[in-house]
Copies of this chain bind each other. A is one copy, B any other.
Amino acid sequence: MTAEIISVGTELLLGNILNTNAQYLSQELAALGITVQRQSTVGDNHDRLADWVREAKDRCDLLVFTGGLGPTADDLTKETVADCYGDTLVFDPEEWDKITAYFAASGRQTTPNNRKQAMVPVHGHKIENRHGTAPGAWFEQEGRCAVLMPGVPGEMKAMWTEQVRPMLLARQNCALHSLTLRVLGGESNLEYKLRPLLENQNPTAAIYCKTGECEIRITARAATDAEGAEKCRAYAKKFYDLLGDAVYDEDVPGLEHTVVRTLKERGLTISAAESCTGGLIAQRLTNVPGASEVFGYGFVTYWAEAKAKLVGVDPAVIHRFNVVSAPVAAQMALGAAKASGADIALSVTGLAGPGGGELLRPVGTVYLGAAREGKVWVKKLFVSRPDRGLIRARAAQGALELALRLAQGKTPEGALLLGEGPGALEALDKAFLTE
């Protein structure tokens, strides 16, 4: 089955809006085994749209429209597509009642324009909109289909998942199951390494790289959801076999969610002393609902004096080893644990630039610390692209990675443990500088 996605809206052609609908629908259609041959964006112009629909109708089995279902004169997708599919529209009192009720609820009056939205196909059928006033529509002629959904992403996605996708699945009589793996790292070589697994038909697997991590989305078509789930699980195993515990979780939006959940499960708390990330770690942790169970204190110690005052870093240590150094990262983490009483404490000190780089410590040099039970591990990170936002994001991600491993009771990869007794800080500093 082949499809084209047609986004209708002059505001898209003017670039006033970023078209995220097309990407979403492309992913969804691919998962359904429907090949998207084209995405197009056209304006709110009856004749141009009509030409367009006639061309497209002959090219593929399914046209997926978003936008142009509103009440204004500009909104003419429904009328135009109805013509092209030999259908007509009729006033639907039930929809009209919904629209008037919807307006009343928000203390507004309907205008005559709104009646337009209550017009529904005669031969095709309407698609209920549970999240807005504009119903969608389904047209069909000689096995060629068109589905019309609102342009507002929230309404479109809801209509798609609640009604259009189930309808398409029913037509193909199959079920769809998805599973998302979250993977630490995410350099392009990962994509290269996984390529063979990403060229499968069913389940399909797609990789989306984010800062310091990747998302692998596995989707299986099957007769039942249970069977689809089995297929996904079996295919996921191939990734686990290749990637081991770099796969840190499934179906979560990001690493901070796994860190918070793991801490909760083990009854642990966490804190952070942040210099170059400036609160990014605390912000990510507290973005997780219920974070207050595990996170109580965060320290943004941007100045040297703040490092001394808030988390007890020894100014002599800063003076001796430089503020961007392993010993300072170690003292920041130990100090944050002490000042907050948290079980695990993270620290970050580094150069996010653009200024402040030097030969020994170029911009992008970051030291990460992670303390637990009086022990502290330090890891060095270097981000070669001189991009302040990227350096900060990678640093926060790296620190959360350390937190996850400590919470899991594992030894963090690539990190060094601060030794005991006099000379330990020197040894740690040397270990990194002579790397």
Contacts and interface: CB of A to CB of B under 8 A. Distances in A.
Chain A contact patch, size range? 35 or more
A302 interface: yes
Interface stretch (A243-251, A287-295, A312-320, A425-433): A287-295
Given A22-B41, A278-B285, A279-B282, A306 B296 contact: yes
A38 interface: yes
Contacts of A208: 16
A40 B41 contact: yes
Interface in A97-141: none
B36 A13 contact: yes
Given A14-B206, A30-B14, A43-B37, A283 B286 contact: no
Nearest to A40: B40
A115 to B, nearest CB: 22
A301 interface: yes
A187 to B, nearest CB: 15
A199 to B, nearest CB: 11
A13 B5 CA distance: 9
Contacts of A283: 277-280, 282-283
A70 B36 CA distance: 22
A296 B289 contact: no
Nearest to A295: B302
Number of copies: 2
B302 A296 contact: yes
Given A13-B26, A36-B13, A279-B298, A289 B388 contact: yes
A424 B312 CA distance: 36
Interface in A4-32: 12-20, 22-30
A354 B29 CA distance: 32
A240 interface: no
Contacts of A13: 26, 36-39
A176 interface: no
A416 interface: no
B19 A23 contact: yes
B206 A16 contact: yes
A403 to B, nearest CB: 15
Interface in A328-381: 340, 353-355
A302 B292 contact: yes
Contacts of A280: 279, 283
Given A23-B15, A296-B305, A300-B298, A282 B278 contact: yes
Given A23-B17, A39-B40, A208-B16, A297 B301 contact: yes
The 7 closest A-B pairs by CB, nearest first: A278-B286, A298-B300, A15-B26, A279-B279, A279-B282, A15-B27, A296-B303
15 contacts: A12-B39, A14-B26, A18-B23, A37-B43, A37-B48, A38-B42, A39-B40, A40-B41, A278-B282, A279-B279, A279-B281, A279-B286, A296-B303, A297-B310, A299-B300
